[in-house]
């Protein structure tokens, strides 16, 4: 599992005093960035990862003045796609949870690319210690 810690900044809050809902997808994106390193050089001219779906569940408000912890892990491995689950915690409570479906994509051929066994092995090292990986 990958872990990032963020300090909630004042400009991320809204008139109600909690973190605006539009901030959470940005934290989810930041949490998954290290996964891109597994794929080496990527470019829109060759192969890259694309976001096919992003789901966010807002469970509790997140407030200014504290830190958040973003936990990111691979929750499913498919043929050419995989799911990343992200949990956002503040004060030992899960405040948001997201799922991102990423597809390995070849821009020249305009189609998905099968994940190699080597990539699957590397991705399977980023799992949640308490959850099994879905196939």
* CATH classification for the domain delimited by 2-123, as one of 3.40.50.10440, 3.10.129.10, 2.170.190.11, 3.30.200.20: 3.10.129.10
The share of the chain scoring above pLDDT 70, in percent, equals 93
Is the per-residue pLDDT at 46 higher than 90?
Answer: no
Q: Distance (Å, rounded) from C-alpha 34 to C-alpha 95?
A: 22
pLDDT tens-digit map of 49-98: 899 999 999 999 999 888 999 999 999 999 999 999 999 999 999 999 99
pLDDT tens-digit map of 84-125: 999 999 999 999 999 999 999 988 888 999 999 999 999 999
Q: Are 70 and 31 in contact (CB under 8 A)?
A: yes
pLDDT band at 43 (very low <50, low <70, confident <90, very high): low
* Predicted TM-score (pTM) of this structure: 0.89
The domain segmentation of the chain, as residue ranges, is 2-123
């Amino acid at each position: 599992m990958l872990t990032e810690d963020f300090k909630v900044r004042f400009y991320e809050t809204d008139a109600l005093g909690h973190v605006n809902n539009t901030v959470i997808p940005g934290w989810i994106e930041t949490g998954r960035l290290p996964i891109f390193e597994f794929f080496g050089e990527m470019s829109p001219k060759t192969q890259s990862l694309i976001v096919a779906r992003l789901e966010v569940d807002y469970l509790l408000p997140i407030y200014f003045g504290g830190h958040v912890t973003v936990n990111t892990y691979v929750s499913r491995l498919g043929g050419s796609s995989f799911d990343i689950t992200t949990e956002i915690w503040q004060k030992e409570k899960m405040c948001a949870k997201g799922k991102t479906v990423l597809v390995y994509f070849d821009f020249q051929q305009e189609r998905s690319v099968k994940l190699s066994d080597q990539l699957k092995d590397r991705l399977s090292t980023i799992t949640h210690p308490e959850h099994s990986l879905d196939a």
